[in-house]
Structure 1
């Protein structure tokens, strides 16, 4: 994916430097980066997306960046994505903002469904986001680490992403930490970022009354169950933790029957509550 992303980023007039974190890859990525002359750091072990963003954001701030544009290697910003984000940072004082993240296979749909502010409605269609926008923004909503801009001031106030989360939930935790710090957060609706639609995010359950972030990957599910439990406990309270556990049990008994996922979820949640962030390693290959 970097072979597609890096040339695109090199066309961005607003970028001063491109920094790539090579997360202990074994597929020739490091050799390609060196051959292309891309500034990068190769980590000694696989630290997951959370570790990569922790390292990359810290590296950029240490190098004196005032604004950092964060993304994985599998996304692709539109040509005007960065200028549109920069314009709103300057105009509206946004500290943590991002584009609308669209499904690459169907740009009329969001890659990750969002809950609109002020209610419980979850939307999947870009048209619904455009209709809900005020002055081109969806306030207090952003899909972290998918083409998001983060200010130096915010990083200095709230720190770096939690690298121990490995994958799944590190982005939400960072968003909720920013909210707690009073950051100015928004999605810039006219700025677009394409991302492959994967997994079954937002799978309807309980007769369509709510959704569940199902994934076929045991690694991702383990990290999701562990990290979501911790996030909900820290930022939303035990009632939300209990509701999440109830949804997990319902989902894997009735919606997508996989009873083995229930004890796996319980072990993951218990490990997180103990402060043990090593359990996911057994799923790594």
Structure 2
């Protein structure tokens, strides 16, 4: 079992982590059975967070009834918000973080509905809170194996680095410049400075971009603490050390379209390198073609990649585009 740091021996504005200062923000859409597993795992947590925020992306199943059934079981305040339309993961996490921030939360722990929290998960994350303000824990996959997440991105190309080392040394953490909304643990100070997650992404590249923005103003880390377990099995191509998951037509569209939003963020922050970013887009396109053939055994879906690429170029040419604003200003 990895060793957590001694919270009393490190320096930070937060000398002691208070579990009640944390909010778990969940985004769900028509998966009440999975959401029920997650909420049941929160019942078993020790310690518990102060709030649990559930953002419902206009589900038409019994999500509202499931949330209501846990109000008396979870020793935390449950805040349920049902959106009028499906805003995707991006819109859901943007709203979830907004609600958590307005509740006065110091820490916001984001997660999808297809994971469960390990009982001591919050204690393990909180042990690192005195040292860092953007933290990612580790996850078990559906089958109990270690889930590998690509925590480093090549900034010039805007794509994950697939060969970033998976192992940890005695420090128990590795510096990252990315993020994943399936377990992102972030301090309100960082949210105030970089703003809310950008709902325009709808799905994909949103959490990587948000984590990258956080890493520009604080030391972001992935820690050697298993805190979540995935509860949904996904079709995969086993490549040995890595897996490649199946996707969907919507995924294929947004993974290419949202390169336009990324390009605009890069331009706004003065780090855009046209040739290298273009190479990253080309490699993303190639990877998705390989995914179609190797995982889904088809070439149908290529049109969605092309449509996304076209719309992404239109976004990149939008002269009115602006990044998400900070929640506080120094004026």
Smaller-chain TM-score bracket:
0.7 to 0.9
User: TM-score, normalised to structure 2's length?
Assistant: 0.68
- The correspondence of residues 6-17 of structure 1 with structure 2, limited to 5 A, is 6-10=39-43, 11-17=45-51
Q: C-alpha distance in 1, partners of 2:254/2:244?
A: 12
SS at match of 1:24: coil
Work out the number of aligned pairs and report it.
261
Q: Which runs of 5+ in 1 are unaligned?
A: 277-285
Q: Residues 73-101 of structure 1: CA distance to partner in whole angstroms, max 9, x if unpaired?
A: 111122222111111111x1x11102112
User: TM-score, normalised to structure 1's length?
Assistant: 0.78
Q: Tell me which of 306, 309, 327 is aligned to 1:266.
A: 306
Q: CA 1:54–1:149 in 2, change beyond 3 Å: closer, same or farther?
A: same
Q: Which residue of 2 aligns with 1:34?
A: 68
Q: Residues 223-253 of structure 1: CA distance to partner in whole angstroms, max 9, x if unpaired?
A: 1111245325644532233223433554566
Indicate conservation of the 8 Å contact 2:111/2:181, yes or no: yes
Q: Which residue of 1 aligns with 2:247?
A: 216
1:193 aligns with 2:228: yes
Q: Over aligned residue pairs, what C-alpha RMSD do you find?
A: 3.2
Q: Tell me which of 176, 180, 199 is aligned to 1:144.
A: 180
1:110 aligns with 2:141: no
Q: Tell me which of 115, 121, 125 is aligned to 1:85.
A: 125
Q: C-alpha distance in 2, partners of 1:121/1:252?
A: 14
- The correspondence of residues 223-234 of structure 1 with structure 2, limited to 5 A, is 223-231=254-262, 234=265
Q: Which residue of 1 aligns with 2:136?
A: 98
1:47 aligns with 2:87: yes
Q: Which runs of 5+ in 2 are unaligned?
A: 1-33, 72-77, 155-159, 267-271, 317-331
Deviation at 1:36, TM superposition (A): 3.1
Q: CA 1:201–1:78 in 2, change beyond 3 Å: closer, same or farther?
A: farther
Q: Tell me which of 114, 122, 130 is aligned to 2:163.
A: 122
Q: Which residue of 1 aligns with 2:36?
A: 3
Q: Tell me which of 154, 158, 167 is aligned to 2:194.
A: 158
1:174 aligns with 2:229: no
The structure with the greater share of residues assigned to helix is: 1
Q: C-alpha distance in 1, partners of 2:102/2:239?
A: 40
Q: C-alpha distance in 2, partners of 1:230/1:251?
A: 20
